[in-house]
Structure 1
Amino acid sequence: MKRALLPIALFALLTYCLPLVSLFVPALASGDEAGASSAPESARTNQSPAAQFLAPEAEQEPEATGSADSEVIRLWDAGSQQVLEVPLLEYLIGAAASEMPVTWPDEALKAQAIASHSYALYQRDRASADKLEGAWFSADPARRQGYMTREVLQSYWGEAFEANWARLEALFTPILHQVLTYEGAPAAACYHAISNGQTEASENVWSEALSYLAGVDSTLDLTAEGYEQTVTYTTQQMYDAIVLAVPGAEPEQGKPESWFGEASYTAAGYVDEIRCAGVFIRGTDLRTALGLRSACFSIQYADGVFSVTTKGYGHGVGLSQYGASAMALTGKSCAEILAHYYPGTALETLAE
């Protein structure tokens, strides 16, 4: 059984870690969701969040700032193992399409595009020539993680390709050079699929605290399909996962009800640490070990089965994609959505 679980655990770990190569270098390692490639399938189809109709507010024109070489995005294709140099507009279309359904509201799609652009430039400023052959970050177009090429989109959208491409092209051309900045530099505008109702502070997932990633309310996420999910594990599956993932853990045979103890929580309600077979493990590490959707989880044991219930989907830091869509349906603008999820940042236009 242990041998059978090892590939599963390794696959869960890769699924969690591959889509992002490095978010905060060297402090924050990219995980499945800096960019979210953690969005659930419903977030890539025609699923729409519940609307709450509020009056829209005026959007201010972003301030122009210094120029930056943002015409071409250099990314590492994890599938083909080569560097892609992608024209900016094509990148924004492929990045947004990999994260949100094209049918979602205009302002949410624009917010996602600007977040993806800002994140790419943040990575550019920290890229090393001896890593990824000089690419700024990693994506996997073939698996629809982080970015999709035109060819992948043609296959993905089928007969709707021309209409969908034209829709996003029209949306993103006016915001082509808009980025989020903090203290004059591109912001680490990471994102995820669904929060637990509150976004998480960056230092609780990685190691660096950034003031604009300190966590905000995102209560509309509670209405998302897939917000809460329960998965089950047999006693043997849980035993093998603990032994594999938790150094020093010694689950007591015959007493599985004793394997998990008290937990501490972050201010946003995600598991900070939990006692596991006599040792404490970070909630994010147990999430990886078990392949959980979120670090906001609870564990129950009964009748030989462990039931793990999660709330939200993704690391929880930065923009909630579902929350952005829900806010757009209330009439909020792209600028307002970004200001909410990245407080203290500025929306600026790079000189062409």
Structure 2
Amino acid sequence: MKKSFPVLIMFALLTLLIPLAASALTGLGTKTPTPPASTAQSTPQAPASSQAGSTASSAPALDAEAPMLLLDAATGEVKTVAMRDFLIGSVSSEMPISYQKEAFKAQAVATHSYALASKAAQLLSPDAALKGAYLRVNPAAHEGYMSDAELRATWGDNYESNYAYVSAAVDEVLNEVLMYDGAPALATYYAISNGKTEASEAVWTTALPYLVRVDAPLDKTSPDYEVSTEMTAQQVYDALTLKFKALNLSGKPAAWFGEPTRTESGYIATIPCGGQVLRGVDVRAALGLRSADFTVTCSADNTFTFVTRGYGHGVGLSQFTANTLAVTGKTYRDILAYFYPGTTLATL
């Protein structure tokens, strides 16, 4: 337990910064409470290899069933939600109902772990903007969590069967969480990678030893893997200058972007733009792109085309690959061990 306190401090820093996840394939949610604007630099040694499967272990005393306090981003209200209801509402907003049960179980464990890590961080170092809550969600927009009312409105006549399917998956893993160094793991997730997951420090500057790069080639088989988005020069100008105040975009639009550098996973690390060198994740956020793995071209009529690969920040569990692995017979334990190497699966 001696290592848990520094780990929780790392969580406190990260959860000011990290979103729950990237948008799901169905568009039911953008998955993410907002992460820290800055974090202390931390670079623990990443494990050399992934475990073959998560190992069940005893865990320290944690109240895994205590209610979650959620800040509704739309209303500003802090809601108290039972953990089981939160998990059902969260995984339903995160994944298509067509996904395999083992994928839903993996998602439920990741969500539970993330929620407990976020709670621990807020109790240790509260973010005043959350008004005492542990996470920020937007049920009306299907982001991060959906209430029973939103689920009924979304599923309509399929509510009973869909709810039974999701709740059964959640109930099978209700008391299981991923642990690292005696504390719940900050198990982030997203819809589709670019073929490799991203290391946490590439997105949020802080390295966590279980959020490391792993291959996810199955994501390239997703019909939503590569998407082209067109924007006018004025739209790009407005979005960039709103986010980055000192940019000089006085030249021709075709010259606004320079040659990017990329991370080991292939996402854009930095890209020259308007006399500055911008982080790829910041450009992605400013332009509302699906991924930080993108190429940009500008036509003669000053129309920009951004081609993105993947959907989301790319750190942790890929929901598409999780489902594809489940189709091939992999269990939720296999899926979690692959995407979060070095963690253990504990029953609380």
TM-score by length of 1: 0.83
State the distance in 1 between where 2:253 and 2:74 align.
40
Does 2:88 match 1:93?
yes
Which consecutive segments of 4 or more residues in structure 1 shift more than 6 A? 58-61
SS at match of 1:316: coil
Instruction: Assess if the C-alpha contact under 8 Å between 2:25 and 2:95 holds in 1.
Output: no
SS at match of 1:313: coil
Q: Corresponding residue for 1:54?
A: none
The Cα of 1:40 is off from its aligned counterpart by 3.0
State the distance in 2 between where 1:42 and 1:126 align.
29
State the distance in 2 between where 1:191 and 1:73 align.
19
Does 2:185 match 1:187?
yes
Deviates more, 1:60-69 or 1:313-322: 60-69
Instruction: Assess if the C-alpha contact under 8 Å between 1:37 and 1:146 holds in 2.
Output: no
Instruction: Assess if the C-alpha contact under 8 Å between 1:191 and 1:320 holds in 2.
Output: yes
Alignment CA distance shift 1:60-1:137 (3 Å)? closer
Does 2:302 match 1:293?
no
Q: Corresponding residue for 1:25?
A: 12
Aligned length: 312
Q: Corresponding residue for 1:114?
A: 109
Alignment CA distance shift 1:242-1:173 (3 Å)? closer
How much is the aligned-residue C-alpha RMSD, in angstroms?
Answer: 2.1
Does 2:273 match 1:276?
yes
- Which residue of 155, 158, 162 corresponds with 1:157? 155
Residue type of the alignment partner of 2:267: Y
Alignment CA distance shift 1:59-1:276 (3 Å)? closer
Residue type of the alignment partner of 2:189: Y
Deviates more, 1:164-173 or 1:327-336: 164-173
Percent identity of equivalent pairs? 44
Q: Corresponding residue for 2:198?
A: 200
Instruction: Assess if the C-alpha contact under 8 Å between 1:28 and 1:206 holds in 2.
Output: no
State the distance in 2 between where 1:149 and 1:43 align.
13
Q: Corresponding residue for 1:102?
A: 97
Does 2:24 match 1:39?
yes
Alignment CA distance shift 1:97-1:106 (3 Å)? same
| Structure (1 or 2) with the greater strand fraction | 1
- Which residue of 167, 170, 180 corresponds with 2:165? 167
State the distance in 2 between where 1:129 and 1:313 align.
28
Alignment CA distance shift 1:130-1:246 (3 Å)? closer
TM-score by length of 2: 0.84
Q: Equivalences for 1:54-93 in 2 at 5 Å?
A: 62-71=56-65, 72-93=67-88
Q: Corresponding residue for 1:20?
A: none
Residue type of the alignment partner of 2:24: A
The Cα of 1:154 is off from its aligned counterpart by 1.2
State the distance in 1 between where 2:292 and 2:89 align.
28
The Cα of 1:42 is off from its aligned counterpart by 6.3
Q: Corresponding residue for 2:334?
A: 336
SS at match of 1:138: strand
Alignment CA distance shift 1:288-1:234 (3 Å)? same
Alignment CA distance shift 1:60-1:198 (3 Å)? closer
- Which residue of 333, 343, 346 corresponds with 2:344? 346
Q: Corresponding residue for 1:213?
A: 211
Q: Corresponding residue for 1:257?
A: 254
